[in-house]
Structure 1
């Protein structure tokens, strides 16, 4: 939460000439209510199940930039599906920056109770090992979004070049 998945994802999609999909927005649109309301009514497990089904449909289609919710990649089945059929990118940012960015709006269900900074620290610790399985890790700290996008493009090019070399071997 707050790493810049949606903002950077939109810019990356424009830069690459691809469609952009934010899974949280797609789920909210289909459900007719916010992610926070889905969490409250049905629980996180139900939300993640719907998220996994949506991701499976999205990666079967054309190439696009997909921003998933912060917890999507923690789910082993979703993570496996994404890592097998897409290039996955971890936008890593320090907790201090995440806390500052997420404090601007009360739309994050997991940050509504207790101390948001402590929750973000706990989530970073819990989710870090899953996020580390992404193909690419890019720091999205205090750099301008455009710089983060260019870092991602460079990392994708290196990643694809490495795959081409492996295929040629």
Structure 2
């Protein structure tokens, strides 16, 4: 008898560029799977008692990435959950190896035009400070997408409801489980 889709022995980690929907999709996916949800950026802000933007400004990106890696490692150590990561988390080799070896990595992939429209709704992205979103995101996608492609599951997100991405992830998780 097949195990129900809601029973996983490892965390599901969402990766992808800013604006891909990792937090929103992650919350909905966690509800469907009856698993806890955590947003690593929120956990970092809580641990540091500052916003991501303040951490970047005061300590720089390298220090932020080190703290991010430690927080993600701590989150992975606990019981299985759905984890939304910041866009750059998977770029850190140590973080990426940890996620790929101990979790199911899901890449939420969206066109830069969609991402630019989504991120323009909030002014909280340190990497976008004083930059035009679309050209920056195109360049970032060119650099990061080959790394995101290492994820176990690749989900193309469209300008459609996030529930469509959740359904696509559930289908891919079911196929992954069947292949195991």
TM-score tier, shorter chain, comes to over 0.9
TM-score under structure 2 normalisation? 0.89
Partner of 2:161: 144
Instruction: Find out whether 1:108 has 2:130 as its counterpart.
Output: no
Instruction: Find out whether 1:30 has 2:47 as its counterpart.
Output: yes
Question: After TM superposition, which residue ranges in structure 1, 4 or more long, deviate above 6 angstroms?
Answer: none
Matched residue of 2:104: which SS?
coil
- Structure 1 counterpart of 2:178, from 122, 141, 161: 161
Instruction: Find out whether 1:68 has 2:85 as its counterpart.
Output: yes
Greater percentage in helix = 1
- Could you tell me how far apart the structure 1 residues matched to 2:43 and 2:70 are? 12
Per the TM alignment, residue 60 of structure 1 is displaced from its structure 2 partner at its CA by: 1.3
In the alignment, is the contact (CA less than 8 A) between 1:3 and 1:141 conserved in 2? no
In the alignment, is the contact (CA less than 8 A) between 1:87 and 1:135 conserved in 2? yes
Q: Which runs of 5+ in 2 are unaligned?
A: 1-17
* Pairwise CA RMSD: 0.8
